[in-house]
């Protein structure tokens, strides 16, 4: 779980840091960041409900938070690799 939490948090950090680079307007970037964060917080909260210890709750929250960022991170990574501009 520790490895999964670290990998998913890295995906979240990557997605959050790259959104503005590939989004035309600052407002759209802020909206997308807020949407991803809100979904991540909601999933993280739901995941903590099933944890048996506080340590597992923290790991579960990190995994839940990072999970919705994975598709965004992949999309942003492939946009970078293809040299795509803002959309």
Task: Show me where the domains of the chain are located.
Answer: 2-18+26-79
Mean pLDDT along residues 6-20: 95
Please report the pLDDT score of residue 87 as a whole number. 61
Task: Determine the Cα–Cα distance for residues 30 and 16; give it in Å rounded to an integer.
Answer: 10
Segment 60-76, tens digit of pLDDT: 999 999 999 999 999 99
| pLDDT over threshold 90, residue 23 | no
Look up the pTM and report it: 0.85
- On whether the CB atoms of residues 20 and 26 are closer than 8 A, the answer is yes
Please report the pLDDT score of residue 86 as a whole number. 63
User: Sorting pLDDT into bands at 50, 70 and 90, what band is 84?
Assistant: low
């Amino acid at each position: 779980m520790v490895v999964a939490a670290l990998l998913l948090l890295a995906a979240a950090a990557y997605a959050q840091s790259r959104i503005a680079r590939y989004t035309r307007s600052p407002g759209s970037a802020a909206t997308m960041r807020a949407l991803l964060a809100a979904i991540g917080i909601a999933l993280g909260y739901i995941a903590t409900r099933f944890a048996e210890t506080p340590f597992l709750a923290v790991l579960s929250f990190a995994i839940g938070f990072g999970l919705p960022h994975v598709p965004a991170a992949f999309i942003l990574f492939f946009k970078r690799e293809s040299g795509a501009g803002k959309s």
